[in-house]
Amino acid sequence: MPLTTLPDSFAALRSHNTDGRVQSRVERLKLDDLSAGEVLVRTRYAGINYKDCLSILGQSKIISSFPRIAGIEAVGEVIASESDEFSVGDPVMVHGFQTGIAFDGGFSEVLRVPQDHLQRIPQGLSPYEAAVLGVPAFTVAMALERFEELGLTPEQGPIAVSGAGGAVGLLAMAILSKAGYRVAAITRRTEHADALRALGASEVVDARVLGEPQRPLEKARFAAAIDNVGGPMLSWLLRSMQDAGIVASVGNASGNGFEGSVLPFIMRRVQMLGVVANAPWPQRRRLWGRLAGPLKPDLEALAPHVHSIALDQLLSHAQRQLDGATAGRTLLNLGGAR
């Protein structure tokens, strides 16, 4: 591609560390300001995750070196390439591989990506659809694959999903129901019960159950669970598993710690596993193939829960998301269109 077609400058939310304090601001940058990589991408969408919000507001030590453009995922198209694997115009996405942590991430109109971190958007998904799914859907697909490897089938009982109003929860309901599972959506916002059922929940559980007297073992009601909350919720889910139930811990919105006992493990043979949205390439390609095919959720049903913001709204949105004042899946729109 001729050099004159590349942007002279572009906008990005860049984070700096000054005397131990992280500050983020929208800046005009040049290509030389970006971290190293063989492929230059025009970013169209970047999903906004809880981890990103902590990162840009300096509320957790996530970014490993500064200055850094945060954003752990991005979708766009190639505008220049020194790689034999990617050509100008390819629709691509990136997540994991320390994107937004050790390498510049998605909160930028232009992104430079190492070729080993980048993948084409699989057939069956548009760039917008890939962005809607993003890290939350990939996390759910990883958890589901682990459940299946451990022998879970839909006939064994419902899968509980905590934080049902958030991005991971909403996509979990849509994907798990598509795979034939019954889903118990756990939420404090029970006024949204009808909307959760429309996305695939077979029952809605009021999260205020955590305020009731707690027993060493609760009623055995779930075959598995995807927990995006941690804290007391994770404790309650462990105590509420059926025999040989499986709990996937994927998030920590209520904190890193939880109280528990050995009873769920030795009395009901409960298993707990951790999921992080990174994976070796064979698994990554396999799971994205499933998300573009048999596990692809009803994106029209998800549409009312997908929100779009501009770059100059990102910092204020991040604070609201950490405060629990947002719901659904929010995308940073950097020039994309459905």
Residue 88 within any structural domain of the chain? yes
Residue 306 within any structural domain of the chain? yes
What confidence score (pLDDT) does residue 68 get?
Answer: 98
pLDDT tops 70 at residue 1: no
CB–CB of 115/83 below 8 Å? yes
> What is the domain count for the chain?
2
Q: Mean per-residue pLDDT for 181-200?
A: 93
Helix 127-149, helix 281-292: angle, nearest 10: 110
Q: Do 180 and 87 lie in a common domain?
A: no
The pair of three-digit structure tokens given for residue 77, joined into one six-digit string: 């198209």
Kind and range of the H or E element at 102?
none
pLDDT tens profile 129-140: 999 999 999 999
Q: Do 220 and 307 lie in a common domain?
A: no
Q: Do 86 and 148 lie in a common domain?
A: no
pLDDT tens profile 269-327: 999 999 998 999 999 999 999 999 999 999 999 999 999 999 999 999 999 999 989 99
Residue 55 within any structural domain of the chain? yes
Whether residue 304 is preceded by a cis peptide bond, meaning omega within 30 degrees of 0, is: no
Which CATH number characterizes residue 209's domain? 3.40.50.720
Please name the residue that has the structure tokens 């025009």.
Answer: 42
Residue 280 within any structural domain of the chain? no
- How far is residue 201's CA from residue 182's CA, in Å, rounded to a whole number? 7
pLDDT tens profile 30-53: 999 999 999 999 999 999 999 999
Residue 79, amino acid: I
Q: Do 314 and 233 lie in a common domain?
A: no
The number of angstroms, rounded, from the C-alpha of 27 to the middle of its chain's C-alpha atoms is 26
Domain C-terminal end among 257, 274, 291: 274
Q: Do 105 and 174 lie in a common domain?
A: no
Domain C-terminal end among 255, 274, 293: 274
Residue 131 within any structural domain of the chain? no
- Whether this prediction's pTM lies above 0.75 is answered by yes
Q: Do 269 and 166 lie in a common domain?
A: yes
Which CATH number characterizes residue 10's domain? 3.90.180.10
- How far is residue 303's CA from residue 47's CA, in Å, rounded to a whole number? 15
Residue 130 within any structural domain of the chain? no
Range of the domain at 223: 136-274
The pair of three-digit structure tokens given for residue 324, joined into one six-digit string: 């629990």
Q: How does the average pLDDT of the chain come out, rounded?
A: 95
pLDDT tens profile 4-29: 479 999 999 999 999 999 999 999 99
Q: Do 156 and 260 lie in a common domain?
A: yes
CB–CB of 321/48 below 8 Å? yes
For residue 315, list its beta bridge partners.
Answer: none
